[in-house]
Amino acid sequence: MKKRLSLIIILSFAFVCSPYAQIQHFTWQGKQREYLITTPADHEGSLPVLFFLHGLGDNITVCDQEFNFAQLAEDFGWAIVVPQALTQGIFGTMWNAGLLSSSIDDAGFLLALLDSLTVEYQLDPDSVFFTGFSMGGFMTYRMAIEHGDRITACAPVSGLVSTADAAKTPVTPVRILHIHGTNDNIVGYNGVSYGSTLGLGVDAILDYWQNANDCNGEFAIDTLPNLKIDGLRFIRYTYNCDTDLQHLKVVGGTHKWYHNADLYDVAYEDIIYEFFTGHNAPSRTPTREKAHIVIYPNPTTGIFNVQLFECDSPTIDIRVYDMYGKLVNVVKTMCTSSLQTVPIDLSCHPSGVYFVYEQSGAVAKVVVTH
């Protein structure tokens, strides 16, 4: 049980998204599954499709505000599908990605959903891409290994090949881009976090795919521009293979999807687009930088403070959601200065992970333990 609880802590730190996204439904093996799909408003012919797989404990309604999938669909000219993992007891929502024993056929669900949407939305079956963060990265690797014959390319972010999947031989060579931060203390670069082995380390993963993709061991290195003061360096390794293999090593990077081009030299989604298509990512309309919030103490026994910076309106509306997207608390307060601290009380709510949203779009995660 201790190992299982550690796994929850290790893999639950993923992205939070808007609680207002429109959910669609798909029945698979007698269960109603959920997903989001966005497409460009005007397009001709069939659409490339990108599947984005969320992390452990996440809700698909979490990602629209953070990633703005509708805008990405417009900019890239893709359909973007965000499927929901099922809730599995104390683990919350999680993919059957080879980390724990499970009878849920998530791979079958993803392929059935792809087949259904291909007809409905005129998707291009020869342009099918997968990416995922954290446990979603683990599941992306499972899809590549077991069903790479249906997938054009994969880009796992901060995820690994599980030990169970590492024992399998890929059905075919697969174009792979692996992205990982060297200071990731949730899903460790070397495959170990908090004393638990989660899967192959990054070096072993690259060896695995070099063998599968018929590489000769040679690689080229290029360091991406280092212009922002972000404490990071982005180094790309391109291997000499029959089938493309790349690794973006984020020196100093933590368990985070770096995507704000105003703050960082690299936006992961642009690097992924360029790898998938072989072309530079299109220029994208910058979004307004969100306000910044800090939560302390965190973890908390229930009562904590939300510290706001740069209030942009006299009235502040703070909403708290649980990990399933349910609104559990709303606090309205006046912002009387550029620095505002707001107390929040969740002592009457169960222990778990909660997401705190400020009306301008800032978001932070808080862990409640009683």
How much is the pLDDT for 17? 41
Token pair of 270 as six digits: 């642009």
Q: What is the 3-state secondary structure (H, E, C) of the chain?
A: CHHHHHHHHHHCCCCCCCCCCCCEEEEECCEEEEEEEECCCCCCCCEEEEEEECCCCCCHHHHHHHHCHHHHHHHHCCEEEEECCCECHHHCECCCCCCCCCCCCHHHHHHHHHHHHHHHHCEEEEEEEEEEECHHHHHHHHHHHHHHHHCCEEEEECCCCCHHHHCCCCCCCCEEEEEEECCCCCCCCCCEECCEECCCCHHHHHHHHHHHCCEEEEEEEEECCCCCCCCCEEEEEEEEECCCEEEEEEECCCCCCCCCCCCCCCCHHHHHHHHHHCCCCCCCCCCCCCCCEEEECCCECCEEEEEEECCCCCEEEEEEEECCCCEEEEEEEECCCCEEEEEEECCCCCCEEEEEEECCCCEEEEEECC
How much is the pLDDT for 289? 41
How much is the pLDDT for 16? 39
How much is the pLDDT for 225? 84
How much is the pLDDT for 142? 98
How much is the pLDDT for 18? 37
Identify the bridge partners of residue 251 per DSSP, sorted by sequence position.
233
Phi, psi of 48, rounded to the nearest 5 degrees:
-60, 155
- pLDDT tens digit at each of 370 positions of the chain: 444 444 443 444 444 343 333 689 999 999 999 999 999 988 778 999 999 999 888 888 877 767 888 888 999 999 999 999 998 877 788 999 988 878 899 999 999 999 999 999 999 999 999 999 999 999 999 999 999 999 999 999 999 999 999 999 999 999 999 999 999 999 999 998 877 888 999 999 999 999 999 999 999 999 888 888 888 999 999 999 999 999 999 999 999 999 877 788 889 999 999 999 998 888 765 443 444 678 888 888 999 988 876 666 677 788 888 766 678 999 888 776 555 788 999 999 998 888 888 766 667 778 888 8
Phi, psi of 168, rounded to the nearest 5 degrees:
-95, 155
Q: Domains in the chain, ordered, with CATH?
A: 2-277 (3.40.50.1820), 293-368 (2.60.40.1930)
How much is the pLDDT for 264? 87
**Integer angstrom CA distances of residue 304 from 150, 335, 341, 353:** 47, 18, 10, 13
Phi, psi of 196, rounded to the nearest 5 degrees:
-110, 135
How much is the pLDDT for 36? 93
How much is the pLDDT for 11? 47
